[in-house]
Amino acid sequence: MVVLAASIVSKSGKILVSRQFVDMSRIRIEGLLAAFPKLVGTGKQHTYVETENVRYVYQPIEALYLLLVTNKQSNILEDLETLRLLSKLVPEYSYSLDEEGICKTAFELLFAFDEVISLGHKENVTVAQVKQYCEMESHEEKLHKLVVQSKINETKDVMKRKASEIDKSKIEKNRGDKGGFMSLQSMGSGRIESSFSDMSISSGGGGFGSGSGFGLATTDVETFSSKSKGRPPSSANAPPKGLGMQLGKSQRTNQFLESLKAEGEVILEDVKPIAGQSRAAAAAPPLTDPITLTVEEKINVSLKRDGGMSNFDVQGTLSLQILNQEDGLIQVQIETGGNPGILFKTHPNMNKELFTHENILGLKDPNRPFPQAKLWRMQSADESMVPLTINCWPSVSGNETYVSIEYEASTMFDLRNVVISVPLPALREAPSVRQIDGEWRYDSRNSVLEWTILLIDNSNRSGSMEFVVPPADSSSFFPISVRFSATSTYSDLKVVNIIPLRGGAPPKFSQRTVLITENYQVV
């Protein structure tokens, strides 16, 4: 059996699609197909027509003919079986069985015909197999894209490390060039670290709201003095922590970037938060004010995958960093937002009456430098207090698992550097991300898909992502971990004034406020 051509023609003889499986000229195939409508009679029961050289095996499809042109020595039973298979494939690819529908899906039909007939002989395939073969993607193309993407990611990592090294060197240089810091060497004081045991107290009223506060924590208070001029800080001589390898030349990096650009790749600097980046202290600018007060809250949240919340805990600290030991003899006046869920406490060496009645943090012994931070805690079962909720819906469809993830952010905070880490089953290649609000990165080593949103504010309080992986159990996508930071807190604690105990003008101070995640999961 040899099939010369498989074609779809109109009843008027117009050729819509034709695939030839043997060498033949265009003039000959057009002549054979043009002669077919004249040979077809009306009222006949059979579906084939023979001439001296060829046989036409056909089947009407509404206003069209599906036609096989074979030689006369072919097995007509096999030809009819081939025609029957092709007639099942045409409706699978063409949304309408008319001239317009056939012409729009011409290439899809040609590819399907090639899977059924090879060099004029019928392949032993089914409709489902033909559809699967036509939908298969190129493994080489995917591999090439993965290699290119891995090179781009490596280059970005190199660029980030170099930028981090440059920033660190600038910070160290700025610290060494500050003249005001050099004069502090005469004080003879180094770094003083004080830690005190904690003691629970009860607040009977005042500016901090209602109720009594209990909590456990320790506080480190640091007083800094600079090194002498011409002698760099000790940290400048020590090797940087966390760097396993130093790149001596940037020329290789530039050459690699140029080679990627020459290949047509678009190199963009993608700002993505790394692990631990949510800590404000790591990226904080160098200290320039005599006194710096940092209000930091760490949030621990455990959300249930089916809805609800199993844990919500916020712990806050007010820490001081003092450049000059002389400025340690102070009192700190504060105010809070009046959140009734916040429970405050102080160190037993603090003057509790002064704190209760005037919202001033000061020591019982005024001759001692100010060492103590303010601590507070908040626990709640109210889901409206959660700054970010995550919903995940995995669903298996055939040989694929579709995973849809949505986030909804509260209006209380503007969240920065949000990273939603979704664990995945072991995969041979990266998941197929169909839709996403933000950026994504696949960590193949840990099999984790990271969804990154640089900023969540009033313009994007909700967003979604959808990706596809091979069939997997729904529990393999949990627990989902979340990291973010914010520049406002639940307590809304602010430092109003610094009161020097030795008189004189109040020292200049600055305040930093940050909310970070410590353990934020959907389980």
Local confidence pLDDT in tens for the 523 residues of the chain:
588 899 998 888 888 889 888 888 888 888 888 888 888 765 566 688 888 888 889 888 888 889 899 988 888 888 888 888 898 888 888 878 888 888 888 888 888 888 888 888 888 888 888 887 777 777 788 888 889 999 999 999 999 999 988 988 888 888 766 544 443 333 343 333 333 333 333 333 333 333 333 333 333 434 333 333 333 444 334 444 444 554 544 455 566 666 666 655 555 554 444 444 444 444 555 667 788 888 999 999 999 998 889 999 999 888 888 887 777 788 888 888 778 888 887 777 778 788 778 888 888 777 766 655 667 888 888 888 999 999 999 998 888 999 999 999 999 999 999 999 999 998 888 999 999 999 999 998 899 999 999 999 999 999 999 999 999 888 899 999 999 999 999 988 888 888 888 777 888 888 899 999 999 999 9
Closest by alpha carbon to 305, among 480, 127, 148? 480
Domains and CATH numbers, the chain: 3-135 (3.30.450.60), 291-339+342-379+490-522 (2.60.40.1170), 384-486 (2.60.40.1170)
Closest by alpha carbon to 3, among 80, 111, 108? 80
Which pLDDT score is estimated for 262? 60
pTM of the model: 0.47
Which pLDDT score is estimated for 59? 87
Q: Which residue has the tokens 């060496």?
A: 349
Burial of 137 (0-12, 13-18, 19+ CB in 10 A): exposed
The answer to whether 293 touches 510, Cβ cutoff 8 Å, is yes
Helices (H), 230-343: 234-237, 251-262
Helices (H), 305-456: 352-358
Instruction: Give the CA distances from residue 311 to residues 40, 197, 294, 489, 523, in Å, rounded to whole numbers and listed in that order.
Output: 79, 27, 26, 18, 11
Closest by alpha carbon to 69, among 111, 102, 21, 114? 21
The pairing of strands 509-522 and 291-303 is parallel
The answer to whether 213 touches 355, Cβ cutoff 8 Å, is no
d(CA 422, CA 429): 16
The residues near 366 (Cβ < 8 Å, ≥ 6 apart) are: 329, 501
Angle, alpha carbons 90-96-100 (nearest 5°) = 100
